[in-house]
């Protein structure tokens, strides 16, 4: 699972509220689509949980369902307390899990 | 005329009438049920535990009135709140009222968020309401919705 | 009963059609803004990043510039002028074809034009020219002149069972009319900057698609035989369509319906 974390805006200070965009390459299969050739249902495969942690403290926990678009975006606000590590852990219903980390580096 | 036979005839015509988005999406709804199928009423009850849902200006639900496709529909929810430990939004729930499984996301926030916001993109099986429910720290549930018309585009 | 219900349905449909005609069909400015924001968090960014990595492993900017006979720092400007005549190929080529040439020159396996890797790599290479303006020169030499002429012919040629040409839906005089619910785009418009914004993430397909592949998809939906990728005709078509957006900004990857 490829992932991307973006902090918006790029430049921010401690105390600012920024947006954290988390994206993942994931099929988000609903379990309702059929294979065009065989007619068989394609099994559901979707990200079902995402956790955002700052310096290992949970900021936001998400329970995600198959209605999110393919290669989904999950965006939250975050009040920057200072420098530290932002970690996002995403897991899908098949047990696949991925951990992505980015550094929060306020200017000034 | 019985509703059932009317719908049957309607469906037959609907199959040819691809130019009309409302009709085409009605045909789409006959798809098989997914593994997590849940209707709107059940999902709301599961979130609120039977408490009242109050429509509120404090919940700002942004979604396009006209979606140019049903596969990627941008949705943004912002809830007015100081986000302090005493007074904050505990969760934002996003529902697509007519999808097989209406639940899209349950977002559990903390005061560390600084602002109660969730942005995403959802798949919509047809024209319907996208609903946001904000679970407040005082135990109340506020809500807002936006009707999204899903259109069928041009060549592929 | 059945006849009756179908008649009723038709009446109902006629009503719906009228209702639709009166309804607002276009997106509001607020709607458009929400879609424009998709560019800021475009899933294709992950694919372009992967393309950069693949390109680095297969070729590398220095080798690529050398193969094209330009300085590495001049790559953005040079890339903005594609499709162009490349001496070592002895023909007018697309960026994807130059990636194939560079891989071969580097004695590496040559990626197929249809492959996912190629889509990612060509998007990365095109993105090197982000911020530049499309600078195709269809008068640069006789090869480009020929391709421009051929491109126009292909664009206007009526083909298939329905006798449709590209021009049927994309001539400048019918821009803004609707195909189903979709307004027909102006291929030369600054805001769409068509050719300068491919490869793009196609929302309806949830993947990144190149310009030539998009043209094939258009042909398929109009029931025309698809012109093969890499053929003289499809490169000519790319030349013709790219020339319509000459001077517009290059911004890759974009997001399209």
CB contact under 8 A, B104 and A65: yes
Residue C2 has pLDDT above 70, yes or no: no
A36 located within any domain: no
Q: pLDDT grade, residue C23 (50/70/90)?
A: low
Residue C191 has pLDDT above 70, yes or no: no
CB contact under 8 A, B123 and A30: yes
Residue C192 has a pLDDT of: 65
Helical (H) or strand (E) element with A103: strand A97-104
Chain A residues within 8 A of C206 when measuring between CB atoms = 69-71
- Find, among A70, A47, A45, A49, the residue nearest to A60 by Cα: A49
Mean pLDDT of A40-62: 96
Distance from CA of B107 to the nearest CA of A (A): 5
CA distance B84 to B51: 23
Q: Classify domain B34-150 by CATH number.
A: 2.60.40.2470
- Please, which residues have CB within 8 angstroms of residue C174's CB and are 6 or more apart in sequence? C184
Residue C7 has a pLDDT of: 42
Residue C218 has pLDDT above 70, yes or no: yes
Q: Following DSSP, what letter does each residue of C183-252 receive, concatenated?
A: EPP-TT-TTT-GGGG-SEEETTTTEEE-HHHHHHHHHHHTT-PPPPTTSHHHHHHHHHHHHHTTTSBP--
CB contact under 8 A, C221 and B6: no
Q: pLDDT grade, residue A64 (50/70/90)?
A: very high
Q: Are A17 and B115 in contact (CB under 8 A)?
A: yes
Look up residue B79 and give its two tokens.
């809830």
CA distance C211 to C227: 13
CA distance C182 to C174: 13
Domain borders along chain B are: 1-30, 34-150
Residue to test with chain A: of C35, C37, C42, C43, most A Cβ within 10 A: C43
CB contact under 8 A, C203 and B20: no
Q: Is residue C22 helix, strand or coil?
A: helix
- Classify B94 in phi/psi space as left (phi over 0), alpha (psi -120 to 50) or beta: beta
Residue B72 has pLDDT above 80, yes or no: yes
Q: Which residue has the tokens 């009503």?
A: C15
Please give the biggest Cα pair distance in chain C. Answer: 77
Range of the domain at A10: 3-31+41-104
Q: Is residue C49 helix, strand or coil?
A: helix
CA distance C178 to C184: 6
A and B: number of Cβ contacts within 8 A? 109
Q: pLDDT grade, residue A52 (50/70/90)?
A: very high
A23 located within any domain: yes
CATH topology of domain C42-256: Cytochrome Bc1 Complex; Chain D, domain 2 (1.10.760)
Query: What is the average pLDDT value for chain B, to the nearest integer?
Result: 83
CB-CB: which of A17, A32, A69 is closest to B121? Answer: A69
Q: Does B51 touch chain C (CB under 8 A)?
A: no
Mean pLDDT of B86-104: 97
Number of domains in chain A: 1
If one compares B66 and C177, the residue with the highest pLDDT of the two is: B66
CB contact under 8 A, C34 and B154: no
CATH number at residue A77: 2.60.40.10
Tell me the Cα Rg of chain C. Answer: 21
Domain borders along chain C are: 42-256
Q: Are C213 and C116 in contact (CB under 8 A)?
A: no
Q: pLDDT grade, residue C161 (50/70/90)?
A: confident
Q: Are C186 and C175 in contact (CB under 8 A)?
A: yes
Dihedral sign for Cα C192, C197, C199, C204, please. Answer: negative
CB contact under 8 A, C2 and B65: no
CB contact under 8 A, A63 and B105: yes
Q: Which residue has the tokens 């001539």?
A: C171
Please give the biggest Cα pair distance in chain B. Answer: 59
CB contact under 8 A, C28 and B68: no
What's the whole-model pTM score?
0.84
Q: What is the pLDDT of residues A73-98, one digit of tens each?
A: 999 999 999 999 999 999 999 999 99
Q: pLDDT grade, residue C27 (50/70/90)?
A: confident
Q: Are C81 and C128 in contact (CB under 8 A)?
A: no
Q: Is residue B134 helix, strand or coil?
A: strand
Look up residue C127 and give its two tokens.
């993105």
Q: Which residue has the tokens 């034009």?
A: C113
Chain B residues within 8 A of C1 when measuring between CB atoms = 1, 5
CB-CB: which of C40, C46, C206 is closest to A4? Answer: C46
Q: What is the pLDDT of residues B97-130, one digit of tens each?
A: 999 999 999 999 999 999 999 999 999 999 999 9
Report long-range pairs for A37-42 (Cβ below 8 Å, ≥24 apart): A41/B32
CB-CB: which of A8, A25, A75 is closest to C46? Answer: A25
Q: Does C39 touch chain A (CB under 8 A)?
A: no
Q: Are C252 and C198 in contact (CB under 8 A)?
A: yes
């Amino acid at each position: 699972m490829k992932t991307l974390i973006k902090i918006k805006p790029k430049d921010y200070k401690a105390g600012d509220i920024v947006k954290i965009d988390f994206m993942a390459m994931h099929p988000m299969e609903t379990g309702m689509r059929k294979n065009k050739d065989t007619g068989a249902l394609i099994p559901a495969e979707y990200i079902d949980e995402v956790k955002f942690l700052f310096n290992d403290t949970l900021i936001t926990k998400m329970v995600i369902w198959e209605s999110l678009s393919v290669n989904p975006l999950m965006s939250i606000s975050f009040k920057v307390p200072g420098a530290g590590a932002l970690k996002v852990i995403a897991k899908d219903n098949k047990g696949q899990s991925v951990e992505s980390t980015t550094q929060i580096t306020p200017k000034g | 005329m019985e509703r059932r036979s009317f719908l049957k005839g309607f469906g037959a015509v609907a199959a040819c009438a691809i130019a009309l988005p409302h009709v085409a999406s009605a045909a789409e709804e006959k798809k098989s049920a997914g593994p997590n199928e849940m209707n709107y009423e059940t999902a709301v009850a599961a979130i609120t535990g039977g408490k009242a849902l109050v429509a509120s200006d404090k919940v700002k639900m942004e979604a396009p009135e006209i979606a140019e496709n049903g596969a990627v529909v941008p949705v943004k929810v912002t809830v007015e709140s100081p986000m302090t430990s005493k007074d904050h939004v505990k969760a934002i729930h996003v529902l697509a009222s007519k999808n097989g499984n209406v639940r899209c996301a349950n977002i559990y926030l903390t005061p560390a968020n600084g602002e109660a916001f969730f942005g995403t993109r959802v798949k919509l099986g047809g024209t319907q309401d996208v609903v946001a429910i904000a679970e407040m720290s005082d135990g109340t549930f506020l809500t807002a919705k936006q009707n999204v018309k899903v259109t069928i585009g041009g060549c592929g | 009963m059945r006849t009756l219900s179908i008649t009723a349905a038709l009446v109902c449909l006629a009503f719906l059609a009228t209702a639709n005609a009166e309804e607002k069909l276009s997106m509001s400015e607020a709607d458009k803004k929400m879609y424009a924001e998709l560019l800021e968090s475009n899933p294709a960014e992950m694919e372009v990043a992967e393309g950069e990595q693949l390109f680095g492993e297969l070729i590398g900017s220095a080798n690529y510039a050398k193969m094209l006979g330009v300085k590495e720092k001049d790559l953005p400007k040079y890339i903005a002028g594609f499709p162009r005549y490349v001496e070592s190929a002895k023909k007018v080529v697309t960026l994807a074809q130059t990636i194939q040439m560079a891989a071969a020159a580097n004695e590496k396996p040559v990626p197929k034009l249809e492959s996912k890797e190629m889509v990612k790599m060509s998007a990365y290479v095109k993105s090197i020219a982000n911020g530049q303006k499309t600078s195709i020169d269809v008068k640069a030499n006789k090869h480009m002149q020929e391709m421009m002429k051929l491109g126009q012919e292909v664009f206007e040629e009526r083909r298939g069972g329905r006798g449709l040409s590209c021009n049927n839906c994309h001539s400048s005089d019918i821009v803004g009319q609707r195909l189903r619910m979709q307004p027909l785009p102006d291929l030369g418009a600054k805001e769409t900057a068509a050719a300068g914004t491919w490869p793009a993430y196609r929302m309806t397909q949830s993947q990144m698609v190149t310009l030539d592949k998009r043209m094939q998809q258009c042909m398929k939906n109009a029931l025309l035989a698809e012109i093969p990728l890499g053929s003289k005709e499809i490169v000519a078509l790319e030349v013709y369509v790219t020339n319509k957006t000459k001077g517009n900004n290059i911004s890759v990857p974009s997001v399209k319906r």
